[in-house]
Amino acid sequence: MNIGFIGLGLMGAPMASNLAKAGHTLHVWSRRPQALADYAKRPSYQIHPSAAAVAAASEVVFVMVADSPDVHQVILGEGGVAEGGKPGLTVVDMSTIAPETAREVAAALFERGIDFLDAPVSGGEVGAINASLTIMVGGEEVVYERIKPLFDLLGKSVTLIGASGAGQVAKACNQIITGVGVCAVAEAINFAHKTGVDAERMREVLMGGFAASRILDMHGQRMLERNFVPGFKAWMHQKDLGIVMDAAHAQYLTLPTAAAALQLYNAMVGSDLGDEDTTAMLKLFEQMSTAAEGASA
């Protein structure tokens, strides 16, 4: 199949590669042409001069970029996917963006006879490489069923959540729970450390009860090992929680622990921890409690 792929970054590149491995032809374009240098020699990839040209050559176009304005620009902007896409094209946006933007883009494409799915993912770079992503899809069921075989080349758990925007809402819920979870685990580990208690033993005991979570298990373990290599960079969670808070703001929804968490991710980026894994949240707490080390001695 002729598949467009726009956004060959940390996540997008291995995802496109998984589609190419299955025998599909990948039509690509980048806002930064140097990003495509590697692809010129690969037989499965065809480089195009614009997103519109990618769309004109493809039956399905995947988009995997950073934020809502990028998605808007690449799809509805000048020389964008909508310009080149013929009726019958399907556009699948796998970026994490505002649910409202997903609905707007879907509506604008619908008028041109182009189908749209929002399909944000979780599972990080490792999931993208191993094709083990969790994919949360919003859109029409008939479109979802058509694209499902391609999703199965990218992820392990693929679910149609609901109508347009529903994939982004599920991703927002994911980012609330994981974002807050990392903070709570970092707070607990720092609390144990500073009160002179073996945090490793604490984590182990808590994993046997109601506090058990994948965040306490995996991220907790990495905090204890002081392994802050991403994984998932703190600035990305900062970005995602910003999107969530904007959506909540627009609907008068209160997210008090997510709001506290966002302040902490802001502080991480603001203190040069943005490019480290979210587990470096522990470092932030350590920086805020150096005096307590003396107090607990």
Which residue lies nearer to a second copy by CB, 28 or 158? 158
Q: Does 129 bind a second copy (CB under 8 A)?
A: no
- For CA atoms 86, 106, 239, 178, the dihedral sign is negative
Coil vs helix vs strand at 63? strand
Cβ–Cβ under 8 Å, residues 250 and 195: no
Q: Could you tell me which residues are beta bridge partners of residue 5?
A: 28, 62
Q: Does 165 bind a second copy (CB under 8 A)?
A: yes
- Decide if 239 is catalytic: no
Q: Of the residues 86, 148, 171, 283, which is catalytic?
A: 171
Q: Does 172 bind a second copy (CB under 8 A)?
A: yes
Q: How far is CA 169 from the centre of its chain?
A: 12
Cβ–Cβ under 8 Å, residues 175 and 96: yes
Among 253, 270, 271, 272, binds a second copy (CB under 8 A): 253
What track of x and - describes contact with a second copy for positions 227 through 246 (by CB under 8 A)? -----------------x--
Q: Where are the alpha helices (DSSP H) in 2-50?
A: 12-21
Among 248, 266, 269, 275, binds a second copy (CB under 8 A): 248
Which residue lies nearer to a second copy by CB, 81 or 258? 258
User: How many binding residues for a second copy (CB under 8 A)?
Assistant: 75
Closest CA to 265 of 283, 289, 292: 283
Q: Does 108 bind a second copy (CB under 8 A)?
A: no
The nearest distance, CB 179 to a second copy, in angstroms, is 8
Q: Does 260 bind a second copy (CB under 8 A)?
A: yes
Q: Does 164 bind a second copy (CB under 8 A)?
A: no
Closest CA to 29 of 2, 59, 55: 55
So which residues are the catalytic ones? 171
